[in-house]
Amino acid sequence: MQKASPNKLAILNKLVTAAPGMVPSGELVESLNVSRQAIWKAIESLREETIGIESLPNRGYRFIAPPTFDLSPTWLEHRLKGTSLGHPILFLETVDSTQEIAKEAARQGMPAGLVVLAEEQRAGRGRMGRTWLSPTGGNLYASLLLRPRISPMQIQLVNLAAGLAVQMALESLFRVRCSLKWPNDLLWKGRKLCGILSETASETDRVHFAVTGIGLNVNMSVRDLITAGAENPCSLIEIRNETSNRGEILVEILRRISELIGLLEAGPEGVQRLVALYRQRCSTLGKEVRVLTDSGTDYGIAENITQDGALEVNVQGSLRVYTAADVLHVRASQD
């Protein structure tokens, strides 16, 4: 397990700020109020995260290069300075599901901002009780702990914000505009690139927490995903024809989610702006859809997203509102 500890983060912040200059170890000892031994241990641990730090005997330390490992937790936390999410970041090589780790932390009272990452999930979970295949191979598996100050009625908006954030992040980083299917699937030519699962604990008038899990196929080939058992997958490597840095994608996603949750918490005007942004970018609107609910299957035309994030569908002339459902675009090839 790799974790960004306060000492490691403070040291990294200082070294990066001073680069290309060096920071005397005495200065680190003094400002952090810890022993030389503790500084040395923290530096070793930063190096284990593959961050390039040079030691200058009897003088100090110098930052030389960002990590070669793209999910270095301390580096990511450093990159997220000033953002409400990503504090702390926990990276685990293998785990059943990052959702479980984040939810347990939430139950133990951990404040909002925690992000749990894994290289592999043995029992990754999807929406509607499905499995999210999560082999090693360069994909992004992340769970974020949020404690949004909203009413439980608005919880679907957190889901929409997460999908929107991923779509915006891929567009701004790589000019890749994928289709955002309500509530928060990201598709490329009808194939699934990213799935999002939000699990919440709330009372009648208060949301205790939401754990939002993001599974994004980044560097694993579509062939390998299919071999692992994924159904109709797509991967960023196929779209971009090159590998992508998962950490940089995550940083952009977290910044955007944090901004969108800020809108959501700002009151009715913020909610209106969030929903308007979502409507502009949601490819479900205007499409012929098949809606699968616990009580059956409906066919109709998706007409609107409500201020609570529900989907309104015109089913044979009457408007039906779905707060949670599985939606399929009937002509998926258009996505």
Report, in Å, the least distance between residue 123 CB and ligand BTN. 7
Among 12, 197, 260, 264, binds ligand BTN (CB under 6 A): 197
Position closest to ligand BTN via CB = 195
Among 99, 198, 258, 284, binds ligand BTN (CB under 6 A): 99
The residues, ordered by sequence, that sit 6+ positions from 242 with a Cβ below 8 Å of its Cβ are: none
- Cα 135 to Cα 224: distance, rounded to the nearest angstrom: 9
Comparison of 123 and 319: residue with beta carbon closer to ligand BTN: 123
Report, in Å, the least distance between residue 227 CB and ligand BTN. 19
Helix (H) or strand (E) holding 168: helix 155-174
- Cα 91 to Cα 71: distance, rounded to the nearest angstrom: 7
* β partners of residue 213: 143, 197
Per-residue mark of binding to ligand BTN, 17-56 (x: CB under 6 A) = ----------------------------------------
Among 62, 127, 189, 281, binds ligand BTN (CB under 6 A): 127
Comparison of 60 and 213: residue with beta carbon closer to ligand BTN: 213
Q: Which range binds ligand BTN by CB under 6 A, 52-60, 107-115, 141-149, 235-243?
A: 141-149
Per-residue mark of binding to ligand BTN, 201-230 (x: CB under 6 A) = ------------xxx---------------
Residue 62 burial (C-beta neighbours within 10 Å; 0-12, 13-18, 19+)? middle
> What's the chain's Rg over C-alpha atoms?
21
Q: Which range binds ligand BTN by CB under 6 A, 140-148, 254-262, 273-281, 321-329?
A: 140-148
Tokens 């952009």 locate to 252
Is residue 258 involved in binding ligand BTN (CB under 6 A)?
A: no
Is residue 198 involved in binding ligand BTN (CB under 6 A)?
A: no
- My answer on whether omega of the bond before 111 falls inside 30° of 0, hence cis, is no
Among 2, 25, 74, 121, binds ligand BTN (CB under 6 A): 121
Residues near ligand BTN (CB under 6 A), total: 20
- Cα 95 to Cα 262: distance, rounded to the nearest angstrom: 30
- Cα 141 to Cα 121: distance, rounded to the nearest angstrom: 8
Among 61, 91, 141, 322, binds ligand BTN (CB under 6 A): 141
Catalogue the long-range contacts made by 264-270 (C-beta closer than 8 Å, 24 or more residues apart). Answer: 264/148, 264/150, 264/154, 264/157, 264/158, 264/161, 265/148, 265/149, 265/150, 268/307
Helix (H) or strand (E) holding 208: strand 207-216
Report, in Å, the least distance between residue 96 CB and ligand BTN. 8
Is residue 246 involved in binding ligand BTN (CB under 6 A)?
A: no
Report, in Å, the least distance between residue 45 CB and ligand BTN. 25
Helix 268-281 / helix 246-265 crossing angle, nearest 10 deg: 140
Among 25, 45, 143, 217, binds ligand BTN (CB under 6 A): 143
Is residue 189 involved in binding ligand BTN (CB under 6 A)?
A: no
- Cα 77 to Cα 223: distance, rounded to the nearest angstrom: 33
- My answer on whether omega of the bond before 20 falls inside 30° of 0, hence cis, is yes
Is residue 98 involved in binding ligand BTN (CB under 6 A)?
A: yes
Report, in Å, the least distance between residue 141 CB and ligand BTN. 4
- My answer on whether omega of the bond before 148 falls inside 30° of 0, hence cis, is no
- Token pair listed for 152: 């439980």
Q: How many CB atoms lie within 10 A of CB 265?
A: 13
Is residue 167 involved in binding ligand BTN (CB under 6 A)?
A: no
Report CA 137 to chain centroid distance, whole Å: 18
* Chain residues in the site for ligand BTN (CB under 6 A): 97-99, 121, 124-127, 130, 132, 141-143, 185, 195-197, 213-215
